[in-house]
Amino acid sequence: MVAILPPSETQTHAPVMADEVLRYLSVQPGGRYVDCTVGGGGHSLAILENAAPGGLLLGIDADAGALQIARARLQQFADSTLLTSANFRDLAAICRKADFVPVHGVLFDLGMSSFQLADQERGFSFQVDAPLDMRFSESQTVTAHDIVNNYGERELADLIWRFGEEPSSRRIARAIAGARPVATTTELAAVVSRATGGARRRIHPATRTFQALRIAVNDELGALASALQQAVDVMGHGGRLVVIAFHSLEDRIVKQFMHRESRDCICPPEAPACRCGHRARLRPVTKGAVRPSDKEIAANRRSRSARLRAAERL
């Protein structure tokens, strides 16, 4: 779990793997970079500092509250920064509208920000009592409350298994259906804990269920798959794509995407000849996933599950 920080700290907490981000983005003075998940602005600030003089940054976040914090943090680079409240699934359209193509680098930090978890009205954490919301943006219509209270038991179980990789998904879904209506985060966490018998785990029994609901509410995996394709489209020759993932579902999408886009042919192995016409667009620049250092993990527990992958535009 990400540590919940008071509001004053959420504005200044260290971004995960900042040194590695700068290295693999190959940030240079005068470069143009897109931070698809601005959050509190930590990575954006580091990029702007290293892209000076002349560097420009386009920052995207679906969470309007995150952009308020980022705007204050990046004030010294106000003339070099454009922040927009949007979902990164519209990356290419955002860049074109801002006349921000081609770019030298695109960054995705897919982790939840601490201030989002600490916001008692958002419902992302089961450590505080809050409505079951979990939306990144208030413009979204579906909430976690809708899913928890309206999905059929089988559909709910499949969702918890698919997005949470929760082995007790059917037992949990049965318990949720029997406890309806479930209104708050702590109510849901209690239902899940009872369903699993309060079994001792390395993580809280409700962690995977909450992850699954958040991913479903925000269509996180669909947005990521779409945005990765668009990131390659907006990068110029030699541009860098850097992605930090925090759970296996995200990391698998990134890994498979970079592998596929680094090959000239993606036809099935049994195909007698290439018919896909696919041409490699990326060159991996990390061998597998890069992990945070032991020193960073000791200083920032939020980083412990981070996996960074990077590739260069051909």
Number of domains in the chain: 2
pLDDT at position 126, please? 86
* 243 φψ region: left (φ > 0), alpha (ψ -120 to 50), beta (else): beta
Residue after which a domain boundary falls, among 200, 217, 234: 217
Start-to-end CA distance of the chain, whole Å, equals: 37
Q: State pLDDT tens for residues 256-282.
A: 999 999 998 888 888 888 888 889 999
pLDDT at position 118, please? 63
Q: What is the pTM of this model?
A: 0.90
What CATH number is attached to the domain comprising 147? 1.10.150.170
Q: State pLDDT tens for residues 169-183.
A: 999 999 999 999 999
pLDDT at position 101, please? 97
- Rounded to an integer, what distance in angstroms lies between the CA atom of residue 117 and that of residue 126? 9
Beta bridge partners of 311: 241, 284
Same domain, 185 and 238: no
Note whether residue 49 is domain-resident. Answer: yes
Same domain, 225 and 208: no
Longest dimension (CA), the chain: 61
- Residue 162: is its pLDDT beyond 90? yes
Same domain, 73 and 172: no
Range of the domain at 29: 7-115+220-313
Residue after which a domain boundary falls, among 217, 245, 273: 217
Same domain, 109 and 258: yes
Note whether residue 270 is domain-resident. Answer: yes
Mean pLDDT of 11-38: 91
pLDDT at position 8, please? 39
Q: State pLDDT tens for residues 115-147.
A: 666 666 778 888 889 999 999 988 899 999 999
Mean pLDDT of 283-288: 96
Same domain, 93 and 156: no
Whole-number percent of the chain with pLDDT over 70: 92
- Rounded to an integer, what distance in angstroms lies between the CA atom of residue 302 and that of residue 113? 10
Same domain, 20 and 58: yes
Residue after which a domain boundary falls, among 185, 217, 249: 217
Note whether residue 120 is domain-resident. Answer: no
